[in-house]
A = this chain, B = another copy of it.
Amino acid sequence: MCVKQLTHQQCLGADAALSRAFSLLGKRWTAVVLGTLGTGGPTGFRELSRAVGGISDSVLSDRLTELTQAGLITRTVDAGPPISVTYALSERGAALMPAFEQISTWAQEHL
């Protein structure tokens, strides 16, 4: 049984939800991109690339597209000139930050 005295069914539901979450978060860079937007605030592609560090442009572009489509971030285009694009956490994305802070705290003492 669960470490927290849940019913078997509740455990299955929790596992399925965690699986859905990690079908996104289990990709390299997804959580780091979200976390970086959470700590640094709204920013553009290049600045985000620098803040994340080590990510390729094509993967960053892919992740931003996926996260926008999943509703975790918003993409705002200012036609300028010059064109500028700003990515920011949405409410839904911001709702993940408490969990990421816990993971971050955990990593500070365990990794």
Shortest A6–chain B CB gap in Å is 7
- Tell me if A46 counts as interface (CB < 8 A to partner B): no
Q: List the number of copies, as a whole number.
A: 2
CA A41 to CA B8, docked complex, whole Å: 11
Alpha-carbon distance between A31 and B100 when the two chains are bound, in angstroms: 13
Q: Which residues of the other chain, B, contact A105 by a CB distance below 8 angstroms?
A: 17
CB-nearest residue of chain B relative to A95? Answer: B106
Interface of A is mostly: helix
Find A21's partner among B17, B24, B98, B111 (CB 8 Å cutoff).
Answer: B111
Q: What mask results when residues 1 to 31 of chain A are scored 1 for a CB within 8 Å of chain B, else 0? A: 1111010000111110111111011111111
Kindly state whether residue A102 has any CB partner on chain B within 8 Å: yes
